[in-house]
Amino acid sequence: MTKTQGRRSVRLLLRRAAPCSFIALVGVATSVIFARRSSFAHTWSAQISRFQNSACPKILMYDGVAIGKDNNEAKAKYWGETIGVDGFFVNHVFYSWEDSVGDDENSSTYQMVKAFQQLYSKHGVTDNFLKTALYRPHDWKTPAAQDRVVQDFRQAAHLARFAGFKGLALDLEPQVKGFWNVDPTLPDKAARVYTLGQRVGYTVWAEYPEAIVIVLPEVLSFTCPRYPQNVCDNYALSARFWDGLLQARLPQVLIATENSYNASRPDNVPNQVWGVYRPDLQKNGVDLNTVRIALGLWPLGRPEKSADDKSARCTPAQFAERLQFASRERSPYIWIYGHGSSWEENGAYGSGPVDPHFDQFVRVLHQFKQSCSGRR
């Protein structure tokens, strides 16, 4: 059986599952998926491998580019050559779980995303991820609403594969009230969240087996009493979604951290994260070699001053030091939270002036990549 045939078989099973019967079918789907993997493992093992340690991580940017406005040569050259990023968390396509990108490869959405990948990759921006976030409420009480989310993820994985993106990025920060909170009126909400995580994982794998899946932030770390109770309440059931997602045995998962944003020694953060995640991964029977940590840095942009402020949060020298420390994790990626258009004077998210030392931050990024490439 070919890889495509195996993927289609699983897709059909996932599509046909009635809302009331899907939980029972999850076990069947699991058996089908692992049978398919065994039957064509020799054909795809070279394409899908465990993470390899990297002494030279690529740089991903969260924010910065707006695909609808920046899909042109000048912007591609700016981000790839002037700034020097290797990829983006691309927003405003699969905007939220409730948004469909459809299945039509000739549609304007599919063609726009593919054109973006082809254009930006010419300037070195090769590793792009379709990002989705919790910007809209979800009706956890209605099974059909979960069916819709699964369909939306399948279509998003289809689009990412079609366009040549590396995979998907799932931002689990609850932007709408109550998303992950325990609901006394829905006693089985935790089970529904877990099952949705399973279904999303299986459908992403079935549609795009080679995909890297990035999950942010490090939701298992949000525990009390370290954090205020309201934070723990807001993330209460996010761990159930994560545990469900793991059941798909996705071949490459990245935990993108936010606790590292302002850390003077970001290389200390992974020990804290692994201390929480390793037991969970082992409990779920996940091969630790399929999971990596991508440390996040936030050098520019101070929202406490104003929503579109672009001033520095650290010095260029500190940024250089933090990049070096972050590279010790030997992950394939380091990511930068770009806070809107903090890395561009006339950007899609704000036209205000950049930090007075902006050129030094850019120079640091280029120097890091040059010194890093010398260590390959």
DSSP string computed for 22-36: HHHHHHHHHHHHHHH
What are the residue ranges spanned by the domains of the chain? 57-373
Q: What is the DSSP-derived secondary structure letter of residue 350?
A: B
Task: Retrieve residue 198's tokens.
Answer: 């399973």
Question: Is the CB of residue 197 less than 8 Å from the CB of residue 244?
Answer: yes
3-state secondary structure of 129: strand
The reported pLDDT for the residue numbered 53 is 63
What count of Cα atoms within 13 Å lies in the side-chain half-sphere of residue 302? 8
Question: Is the CB of residue 318 less than 8 Å from the CB of residue 362?
Answer: no
Could you tell me how many residues make up the chain?
376
The mean of the pLDDT values for the chain is: 88
Can you tell me the distance from the alpha carbon of 217 to that of 90, in angstroms, rounded to the nearest whole number? 16
Task: Kindly report whether the peptide bond that precedes residue 225 is cis, defined as omega within 30 degrees of 0.
Answer: yes
DSSP string computed for 207-227: H-TT-EEEEES-GGG--TTTS
- Which pTM does this prediction carry? 0.88
DSSP string computed for 59-120: EEEESS--TTT--SHHHHHIIIIII---EEEE-SSS-BTT----S-TTSHHHHHHHHHHHHH
pLDDT in tens, 280-308: 999 999 999 999 999 999 999 999 998 88
pLDDT in tens, 237-269: 999 999 999 999 999 999 999 999 999 999 999
Task: Retrieve residue 210's tokens.
Answer: 């080679």
Q: Which amino acid is at 161?
A: R
Can you tell me the distance from the alpha carbon of 133 to that of 119, in angstroms, rounded to the nearest whole number? 25
The reported pLDDT for the residue numbered 55 is 66
Class for domain 57-373, per CATH?
A: alpha beta
pLDDT in tens, 320-334: 999 999 999 989 999
How many C-beta neighbours within 10 Å does residue 31 have?
10
The reported pLDDT for the residue numbered 345 is 94
